[in-house]
Structure formats: structure tokens, C-alpha cells
Chain A
Amino acid sequence: DSGVTQTPKHLITATGQRVTLRCSPRSGDLSVYWYQQSLDQGLQFLIHYYNGEERAKGNILERFSAQQFPDLHSELNLSSLELGDSALYFCASSEAFWTGGANEKLFFGSGTQLSVL
């Protein structure tokens, strides 16, 4: 168990809908990262928050948004869903604000499998 909790584990919805994915980081971790994993694109970085502030954006669509709350949990909001948004969405947490140090590894949750029908 990584200590990172993601809910829900599975989500089935229709095109055009909006969903919210939730992530609780490991106790004490200030950084939360969101990744999208699909068969054709692999693991794509979406967004990084550190202690409530957005730190970096990756390949995140304008239809997607995220935030990190004062209690450090994070939510990823996906709107106007399309078939192509079907993927496994992971959040990961770490203590530090970056991954360039000697010990900056990420702890991953078990993911939310999103199916858009």
C-alpha cells in the first residue's frame, strides 16, 4: 500500500458529462501529481501541485482542471468528456516540490479507470 488513496476506482460515464476524481496523498506529502495513462500515449503528465499551488502543467486539456485543497487532497475535474478521454488516471505524491533530488521518488495511487461511452 503506497499510502495514496484515489477514488473512485472505476467510473463509467457518457460523452459530454463532467466527472471529478479525488486523490489523498500520503501523510506529510505536499506534492500531488496527476498522470493519464492510455495504451497509445503511455503515461502523460497532466499537472503538479505543491502545497496548494499549481507548480507545473503538462499535456492537460483546457476541459480539464485541478486543484489542491488546504488539507492537501486534490481533485481532477474532467468536463465535456469525449471517448478519447477514456484512460487510467493516476495521482502520485511526494514530499518535495521537485523530482530532481537524490531521493525524490513518487508514490502512486491505484488509479481511477475512466470509461467514456
Chain B
Amino acid sequence: SQQGEEDPQALSIQEGENATMNCSYKTSINNLQWYRQNSGRGLVHLILIRSNEREKHSGRLRVTLDTSKKSSSLLITASRAADTASYFCATPFMNYGGSQGNLIFGKGTKLSVKP
């Protein structure tokens, strides 16, 4: 399976603290994406990092990518109760021909931010 894996599976923190989630994947990639899902709702794209980038910022989000270790991390700084959600990393699927179509999602990290 090419499915990525997030770590930890669940994370509980207090408002104002930073939250770090990690993702490992198995194949070479062109990009890696992070999505957020509020309970029972659709996924929302957060940030995309290309394989030639090492770090990217968007507001309170910071994503790093280490292609040599096939891993990425998502840092949410100064977390808020509204950040409570599940976070997924996703990578483009590589088939035998090498082309990339659909995204493969990990099982997610469930983040709980307590007020």
C-alpha cells in the first residue's frame, strides 16, 4: 500500500500551545498536501509543499518536507479551540507508469484543542 501514515493518531493540547503532526509516506512524490476535516464534514485543503521545497508557511501553519526520510510535519502554532479537527496528509498516487492521478490519504491525526 502506498498509504501514508500520520503520527500521533490523536493529540490533545491546551489553547495557545503548538501542535505538531507527522506524516510518513512510501514512494517518491512531486508534492505533499495537508487537509483538515471537521467532524463528519468534507476535507479542506490547508497547504501544498512541492518536493523541491523544504519548508512552507501559511498563517499559523508551518509544513516541512524531508524527501530523504519520506516524511513531513505540520505545525500549528498558538492553537485555538477551532483548530479541533482531524488532519490528513496526502500524496499523489504513483502507478507503474509513473504518472500521478488521485491522492492517497493517511489515516489522520485527531487533534483536540481544549479552551
User: Which residues does A use to contact B, with CB under 8 Å?
Assistant: 2, 4, 33, 35, 42-43, 45, 48, 55-56, 58, 88, 90, 92, 97-111, 113
Contacts and interface: CB of A to CB of B under 8 A. Distances in A.
B50 A98 contact: no
B45 A107 contact: yes
Which of A2, A45, A109 lies at the interface centre, i.e. has the most chain B CB atoms within 10 A of its CB?
A45
B11 to A, nearest CB: 17
Interface in B64-103: 88, 92-93, 95, 99-103
Given A2-B44, A110-B41, 17 more contacts: A2-B42, A42-B3, A45-B93, A45-B104, A48-B102, A99-B100, A99-B101, A99-B103, A100-B30, A100-B31, A100-B92, A102-B31, A105-B33, A105-B48, A106-B45, A106-B103, A109-B42
Contacts of B93: 45, 56, 99
A48 B99 CA distance: 14
A46 B95 CA distance: 15
Nearest to B47: A105
A16 to B, nearest CB: 26
A100 B99 contact: yes
Contacts of B33: 99, 105
16 contacts: A4-B42, A35-B105, A42-B3, A42-B107, A43-B105, A45-B93, A48-B101, A90-B42, A97-B101, A99-B31, A99-B101, A100-B31, A100-B92, A106-B43, A108-B35, A111-B41
